[in-house]
Structure formats: C-alpha cells, structure tokens
Amino acid sequence: MPISFVVYQMRSAMEHDLVVSLYTDTNDPDAFCSGYIEQVNAKHVLLSALTPWGHRDGWLLWRVGDVQQVYTGDEEETRLELLARLYGEDRAPLLPRPASPDADLLRWALDWARREQRTVSLLTAGETYTGRIKLRDDLRVTMEAFDFFGRPQRQPAVMPLRDVESVSIGTEYERMYDFLSASQDKIDLPQAWWNKEPT
C-alpha cells in the first residue's frame, strides 16, 4: 500500500533534519505544532516539539490521519531552526526507536511512560487527561489522573485506545503537574479547596 503524501513529507523532513509545522485543522491557522520529526510511520508521528521561541518543549504523538498539512522551509520553520541552533537546544531522542519501523507508536509510548513513571497528557475528542499510566492492554489505557492542583483523583481514568487522539510527554504542561504533584506538602490552599474531592 503506498504511503500518503503527508507521510512522505514527514519522512523527508526527518531524513534531512528539518523543522516542520504540522497542521491539524486547515480552517484554524493556530492549530499547529512545530518541531523535528523523531519518528513516523503510517499511523503515528512523534514530534520533538519547539516553542514559538525556539526552545525544546517535550514530545507530541499524533495520529497521521489528523495531520492535514505539513510545512517546512517557510520563514517560520527557518527562524525556529535558527533559534534552536543559537540556543544550543539538546536534540536527544525521547527513547530508543522500536525494533520495527511499523511498531504501534501509541502503545510503545504509553508502555514507556508507564515503565518510566512519566507524566503524560492524553487528548480525546472531548477531554484532556494528565497523569501517570498504570495499565495498558490491547483495548484501553488506565491512568492515575491528576486534578487541577496536581492531586491524584480517587478513580482512575480509563479510556479506549482508539479514542486517544494525541499524547504529550515532557512539555511545560506536564512539567507543571510534576511540580504540583511533588509539592503537595508545601501547597497552602484555602480549606474549602483541600476538603473538595478531586475531580
């Protein structure tokens, strides 16, 4: 089966170590992320993300079918590439490549996050869950999710794997939750918030 043009573009950018911008909604000019393609196959792409100011900001895993346009070589990508070089941003990969180039990158990333106890965010059509992966089987993923203040929720979040549209790892968002979670004994919330059940 021939690969899609989007996959071809992303593979080419990865081979040439070029910054790309991936767009998921052609009607929304802000619905994009930029960075270096770390891995890509017919189902998923793993992007080593850059902030608009050229700093590393974790990794994003997207479904290839959600990527509608790939841009590289325009002013935006060229400037980001220049900024990343000037800042000397580290380009260490997230983790070793899977043994097979056709490995399921979603399962691979979730299993790695569970083993390493890394905080991740899972985006579905209607919700974003942030926390730590506790279990992953062939059909669903179970997460110990955090509430707004970084407290573990009483009930785990369980969702079908097919509903997970994207995964983010090590971005500023996840680092904020790591900080809140590690600082629970130092947080002085009003009593009403401490008594409120995590949601």
Tell me, yes or no, if the two domains 1-98 and 104-186 fold the same way.
yes
Give domain 1-98's CATH number out of 2.30.30.100, 1.10.150.390, 1.10.1040.10, 2.60.320.10. Answer: 2.30.30.100
pTM (2 decimals)? 0.89
Tell me phi and psi for residue 104, to 5 degrees.
-75, 105
**How does pLDDT run along the chain (199 residues), one tens digit per residue?**
457 899 999 999 999 999 999 998 888 888 899 999 999 999 999 999 999 999 999 999 999 999 999 999 999 999 999 999 999 987 778 777 776 778 899 999 999 999 999 999 999 998 999 999 999 999 999 999 999 989 999 999 999 999 999 999 999 999 999 999 998 877 776 655 555 665 5
